[in-house]
Structure 1
Amino acid sequence: MLSRAARPALRAGAAVSSRTAAPSTATFATLREIEGRLKSIRNIEKITKTMKIVASTKLNRAQRAMRESRSYGGASNEVFESAETAPLAAEGKKKLVVVCSSDKGLCGGVHSGLSRFVRRRALEDSNFDLVVIGEKCRAQLSRTNAKQMVLNFAGSGKDVPTFAESSAIADQIVQLSGDYSAVEIIYNKFINATSYEPTAIAAFSEEAIIASPNFSAFEVDEELLPNLREYTLANSLFWALAEGHACEISARRNAMDNASKNAGEMIGKYQILFNRTRQAVITGELCEIIAGATASEDM
Structure 2
Amino acid sequence: MLSRQTVARLAAQPSLAAAPSSARNMATLRELELRLKSVRNIEKITKSMKMIASTKLAKAQRAMQNGKQYGIANSEVFQNAEPSEAPKRKLFIVISSDKGLCGGIHSSVSKATRRAITAGEHGAAPDSPIMVIGDKSKAQLSRTLGNNLALTFNAIGRDIPTFADAAGVADLIIKSGVKYDAIAIVYNKFVSAISYESAVAEVLNEEALKESPGFKAYEMEDDVTKDLAEFSLANAIYAALTEGHACEQSARRNAMDNASKNASDMIGSLQMQFNRGRQAAITNELVDIITGASAL
TM-score (norm 1): 0.90
Q: Which residue is equivalent to 1:195?
A: 195
Match of 1:121 among 116, 119, 125: 116
1:65 is matched with 63
Letter in 2 for 1:295: A
AA in 2 matched with 1:227: D
Deviation at 1:211, TM superposition (A): 1.5
Distance, in Å, in 1 between the alignment partners of 2:199 and 2:269 is: 42
The equivalent residue for 2:122 is none
RMSD, matched Cα? 2.3
Paired residue type of 2:235: N
Query: In the superposition, relative to structure 1, how do residues 153 and 160 fare at CA in structure 2: closer, same or farther (>3 Å)?
Result: same
DSSP 3-state at the match of 1:30: helix
Task: Using the TM superposition, give the Cα deviation of residue 18 of structure 1 relative to its aligned residue in structure 2, in angstroms.
Answer: 5.0
The alignment partner of 1:83 has SS state of: coil
Q: After superposition, what is the alpha-carbon deviation per residue over 1:135-178, rounded to whole angstroms, capped at 9, x for unaligned?
A: 00011111111111111011134101000000000000001222
Matches within 5 A, 1:238-253: 238-253=238-253
Is 1:27 aligned with 2:21? no
1:50 pairs, out of 48, 51, 58, with 48
Does the alignment pair 1:104 with 2:102? Answer: no
What is the count of residue pairs matched by the alignment?
A: 290
CA displacement at 1:89 relative to structure 2: 3.5
SS at match of 1:128: coil
Q: State the Cα distance separating 1:216 from its structure 2 match.
A: 3.6
Structure 2 unaligned spans of 5+: 120-124
Mark the CA change 1:96 to 1:10 in structure 2 (over 3 Å): closer, same or farther: farther
Distance 1:66 1:217 in 2: 34
Equivalent-residue separation in structure 1 for 2:211 and 2:114 (angstroms): 31
Distance 1:251 1:87 in 2: 39
Please tell me whether residue 208 in structure 1 is matched to residue 203 in structure 2: no
* Distance in 1 of aligned mates of 2:245 and 2:85: 27
CA contact (8 A) 2:78 2:203 kept: no
Partner of 2:78: 80
Identity %: 51
Q: Secondary structure at the match of 2:158?
A: coil
**In the alignment, does 2:222 pair up with 1:227?**
no
Aligned-residue offset at 1:219: 4.5
Find the aligned partners of 1:44 and 1:86 in 2 and give their Cα distance.
57
CA distance in structure 2 between the aligned counterparts of 1:9 and 1:148, rounded to whole angstroms: 80
Q: Which residue of 2 aligns with 1:95?
A: 90
SS in 2 for 1:49: helix
Alpha carbons of 1:190 and 1:274: their partners in 2 closer, same or farther (altered >3 Å)? same
Kindly indicate whether the alpha-carbon contact (under 8 Å) linking 1:166 and 1:237 is maintained by their aligned counterparts in 2.
Answer: yes
CA distance in 2, matches of 1:87, 1:155: 37
Give the Å deviation of 1:213: 1.2
In 1, Cα distance between equivalents of 2:79 and 2:241:
22
